[in-house]
Structure 1
Amino acid sequence: MLNLQLFRGLSHPLFARLYLAQTINLLGDALTWVGLALLTFELSGQQAGASLAGVLTLRVTTFVLVSPFAGAIADRVNRKLILTVSHLARMLIVALLPWVTQIWHIYLLIVALNFCTALFTPTYKATIPLVVGKTDYPAAIALSSATGQLLSIVGPGLAGSMAALLGTRLLFGLDALSFLIAALLIVTLNWSQTQAQLKPSQPQSLWQDLQLGTVQLWRNRSLRYALGMQLVAAIAGAQILVNTVAYVEGVLQQDSVQYGWVMAAFGLGATIAAVSLGLLQRPFNPLTCIGVGAVLITVMLLPADRASLSLLMVLWLLAGLGESWINVPTQTLIADTVPIDCQGRVYGAHFAWSHLWWVLAYPLSGWLDYQSHQPGWFYQHSFLAGGLIGTAFLIVIQLFWFPHPLDPQTQMEHAGQLQPSGQHQDI
C-alpha cells in the first residue's frame, strides 16, 4: 500500500495552499534564473560567465545581509502580509527584466529580487510549524524540501523549453504571472488563527530581535552542531557546483549533456533523501541524520578526481542524499527546540549564517580548482583536497559540538523548555 506519510501535511488547508503557492514560486524561480542566464549572455557575450558569477555573489550576499531582518520582521508583522508583498514585489521586478539593456541593470534588479526572496523564505519556513502542528510538521518540512529539490532538477529543463518556445523576454512575462498567482493564493488565506499563535512576551528593539535570532542559534547546542555541519555541507556542495563542469568537460572529455546528467544525479539524491525522511513512520533522530549526512557528502568527494562518468553520477547521487540529510533535519530541529513566538528570528538568522558558509566556500572551491592546475600536491586533486578540508571540519565539529542525547541541557532543548521568548540562557 502506498505510504502517504509524506503528504499528511496537505490535510491542513492552510499548508496545502501555502505549499501550492511555494511550488508555483519555485517554478517561477526556475524561469527567472534560466531567463537571467540567457539575458546575461545576450548582453555580455563571452563575458557572461564573469557576469553570472557577479550575479550569484550578489544573490548570496543579499541573503546574508537581509534575512536576519526578515526573521525579526516575521515575528512582529502579519506573516500573510510579508508573504503576499514579497511575491507582488518580485512580480514587478521580474516584469522589468525584459526592458534591461545593461549588465548593471541586472545587478540592480537581482539585489532587489533577492531582497524579496530573503524576506519570503525565512517567513515561509517559520510558518510551516504554525499551520500544520507539532505532529505533522516534520513531514511538511520534508515535502517542501523534496519539492524544491525535484524542481531544481526539472525546473531548468522546463524553463529552457519555455525560453525556446517563447523567447527570453516573454519568458519573464510568464515568470511574473507565476508570482502573481502565488500571491493570490496567499492573500485569500484565512490567517487569523495562525497569527494569533504569535504572542511576543515583551516589545524589543529591532537590534535586540536581530541579536536574539543569532544568540538562540549559537547557544542551542543542537542548532550549533547542525549549523556547523552545514558548513561541512557547504564546503562539499561548493566543490560539486563549481568544479564538476571542469571535470566532466575537461578531464572526462564529455559535453554539456553529460554534465547535466551528473548534476541531475546530485539533485535526485537530495530529492530521494528528503522524501525518505517524510515517509518515515517513526520520528527520525535529527542529530543522527545530520551526522550521517555530513559524512556521506564529504566522503563522496574523496575518490571523485579519478571517477568515470558513471561512478561520478553515483558519487554525486549519494552526496545529494547527504546534503538533504543535513538540511531537512536542521529545519526540524529549529521547529523542535525554539519557542513559536521567536522562530521567525531564528529561521532568519539560520538562513543568513547558512548562506554565509557558501560565501566562504565558493572562493575556496575556486582556489582549489586553480591549484589543481598548478604543479604541486593539489595537482589534479581538487575534489580530494576539498574532501580532506571538509573531513577536518567534520571531525572537529563532531568532537567539540555534538550534543550528547543524555545531557540534561540537550534534553531540555528538545523538550522546548529552554530560552523562552525574549530571554537568553547561557549554556
Structure 2
Amino acid sequence: MRLFALRDYRRLFGAQVIALFGTGLTTVALGLLAYDLAGPRAGVVLATTLTIKMVLYVVIAPLAAAYVDRLPRRTFLFLLDVIRGAVVLALPLVSEVWHVYVLIGLLQAASAAFTPTFQAVIPDIVPDEAAYTRALSASQVASTMESLLSPVLAAVALTFLSFDRLFLGTSAGFLASAALVLSARVPDARPSGRAGAWEKAAAGIRTFLGTPRLRGVMALNLAVAAAGSIVVVNTVNHVRDGLGGSQADVARMLAASGAGTLLAALVLPRVLDRVAARTVMTTGAGVLVGATTAAVTLSAAGLATWTGTAVVWAAIGVGMALVITPTGAVLRASVGRNAVPGAFAAQFSLSHLAWLITYPIAGWLGTAAGLTLAWSVLAALAGAGAAGALLLWPRRDGRATRTGLPAPARPASAPDRSTLAKAA
C-alpha cells in the first residue's frame, strides 16, 4: 500500500508537519523575545520556558494518549491547533516575563496533547501493518527535519523581518494545520478496555531497562540533550552578548547547527547500509563530547569567535543527527511489531526527561555562574552518556537493521537471532 496515496493520512501528515515547523520557528523567536524582555538573563527565561515544556510533555502526553479514545478526535485536534495559533499570536504582545511562562504553558500543553492524539489516529486511517510502520517512521523523520530546518528558515526570515513577525507567521501555520485537520476524515475511536497509556509507557520503559541496546539508547539521550541544550538555550546570549551579534545572527548560528544536522542526515542512509547502528550512534556521541569540550575550551580561554562558534555548533548538529537518525530502526528491531508504539512512547518520555535535566543547567547555571561552568557540567554529562552507551550496549549484541527497515514482526519477549542481528 502506498502510504501517501491515502487522502486522509496525507492531509493529517501535512497538518503535523506544518504544526511542527510552527513550533520550531516559535522556539527561535522565543529566544529573541526572552532577550528583548530580560537581556543578559534571557538564558534563565528560555530555560524556564523549555523546562515547562518538558514537564508538560512528560505529564500531559501520556494522559492524552490514555483518554483520547473518549474524545471526538478531529474536533480535538482542530481545537488544539486553534489554541496554539491564538497563543503564538499573543506572544509578541507580552510585557512581563511571567506572561511568557503562562502562554508557553498553554502552547506546550496543547502540543503535548496533539502528538499522541495524532498517533492514535494513524492505525485507524492506515490499516495496513507495513504502511502503519512506515507512517510511524514518517512522523519521526518529520520531527527530525523540523529540528534542522526551522533554524534555517528562521535565519532567512529574520534577514527581512523582525522576530515578532515570526510569531505571526507561525500563528498562520497553526491555523493552516487546523484547516487540514478539518478537511480530513478522522474516525472517532471506540472506548476500549486495553491498558492505558501509563501502563503502556511503564511496559515500554521496562523493555528499555531489560534490553541492552535500549539501555544504550537511554544513555545516548543524555549526550544529545546535554549538547543540544547549549545550542537551544545559550545561543541567544552567547551571540548577542559574547559576540555582539544581531537577531539575525542568532538565527544564523542556530542554522549552523541545523546545517550540520542536515549534512549528516543526507549522508547517513548510505552509511547505515554498511556500518552498524551502534557504531554510528556511539560515534555521534563522541562527536558531541568533542564539540562540548571545544565549547568549554573556547569559553574558558576567551577565544570564542564567529568561526569557532559556528564550527562547534555545526559539530553538535552532526553529532545529534548521528545519534537520533538510526534510533527508530533500533527501536523497531528490538521489539515485536505490536510493541512498536509502546517503544516509541517510552523513547519519547525518556528523551524528554533527559532534556528536563539539561535545560535548567544550561539556562539557570549558565546565568548564575557563567557559561564556562555550565558548559563544563554539560560536557561532563555528554561524556557520561557516551561512556554509558559503550558500557551498556554490548559490542556483540547483534547487528541492527542497516537499511533502517523494520524487522519482521516477532513477540516482544522473544525476538529471534535474525532480528537481534540488526541492532548493534
- TM over 0.5: same fold? yes
Q: Would you say 1:417 and 2:417 are equivalent positions?
A: no
Secondary structure at 1:301 match in 2: helix
Q: 1:263 aligns with which of 254, 265, 275?
A: 254
Does the 8 A contact of 1:122 with 1:351 survive in 2?
no
Q: In structure 2, do the counterparts of structure 1 residues 419 and 36 end up closer, same or farther at CA, with 3 Å as the change threshold?
A: same
Per the normalisation by structure 1, the TM-score is 0.72
Q: Which region of structure 1 is more displaced relative to structure 2, 34-43 or 313-322?
A: 34-43
Of all paired residues, the percent bearing the same amino acid is 28
Structure 2 spans left out of the alignment, 5+ residues: 299-303, 400-405, 414-424
Cα deviation, residue 159, structure 1: 5.5
Q: Would you say 1:189 and 2:179 are equivalent positions?
A: no
Cα deviation, residue 264, structure 1: 1.7
1:203 match: 194
* Distance of 1:346 and 1:82 partners within structure 2: 25
Cα deviation, residue 290, structure 1: 2.1
2:419 match: none
1:357 match: 354
Does the 8 A contact of 2:213 with 2:397 survive in 1?
no
Does the 8 A contact of 2:212 with 2:392 survive in 1?
no
Mapping for residues 328-339 of structure 1, pairs under 5 Å: 328-338=325-335
Does the 8 A contact of 1:142 with 1:277 survive in 2?
no
Does the 8 A contact of 2:339 with 2:412 survive in 1?
no
* Distance of 2:382 and 2:28 partners within structure 1: 31
* Distance of 1:280 and 1:141 partners within structure 2: 22
Q: In structure 2, do the counterparts of structure 1 residues 301 and 68 end up closer, same or farther at CA, with 3 Å as the change threshold?
A: same
* Distance of 1:57 and 1:85 partners within structure 2: 24
Structure 1 counterpart of 2:175, which letter? L
Secondary structure at 2:354 match in 1: helix
1:410 match: none
2:382 match: 390
Deviations 1:322-361 (A, max 9, x none): 1022223223433444455554444333222212111212
1:300 match: 291
Secondary structure at 2:410 match in 1: coil
Per the normalisation by structure 2, the TM-score is 0.73
* Distance of 1:295 and 1:141 partners within structure 2: 27
* Distance of 1:37 and 1:239 partners within structure 2: 13
1:287 match: 278
1:274 match: 265
Does the 8 A contact of 2:57 with 2:109 survive in 1?
yes
* Distance of 2:223 and 2:108 partners within structure 1: 25
Q: 2:220 aligns with which of 229, 232, 239?
A: 229
Cα deviation, residue 116, structure 1: 1.3
Cα deviation, residue 237, structure 1: 1.9
Count of matched residue pairs: 395
Does the 8 A contact of 1:80 with 1:187 survive in 2?
yes
Q: 1:24 aligns with which of 18, 23, 33?
A: 18
Structure 1 counterpart of 2:410, which letter? Q
1:152 match: 150
* CA RMSD of superposed structures (Å): 4.4
Structure 2 counterpart of 1:264, which letter? A
1:376 match: none
* Distance of 1:363 and 1:300 partners within structure 2: 20
* Distance of 2:122 and 2:276 partners within structure 1: 20
Structure 1 spans left out of the alignment, 5+ residues: 1-7, 374-378, 408-412, 421-427
* Distance of 1:108 and 1:67 partners within structure 2: 19
* Distance of 2:41 and 2:366 partners within structure 1: 20
Q: 1:60 aligns with which of 54, 57, 66?
A: 54
Secondary structure at 1:302 match in 2: helix
* Distance of 1:370 and 1:93 partners within structure 2: 27
1:313 match: 310
* Distance of 1:189 and 1:271 partners within structure 2: 31
Q: Which region of structure 1 is more displaced relative to structure 2, 358-367 or 42-51?
A: 42-51
Mapping for residues 124-203 of structure 1, pairs under 5 Å: 124=118, 131=126, 133=131, 136=134, 140=138, 143-157=141-155, 160=158, 164=162, 168=164, 174-190=169-185, 203=194
2:392 match: 400
Structure 2 counterpart of 1:147, which letter? M
Cα deviation, residue 150, structure 1: 4.0
Structure 2 counterpart of 1:181, which letter? A
* Distance of 1:38 and 1:279 partners within structure 2: 37
* Distance of 1:398 and 1:66 partners within structure 2: 33
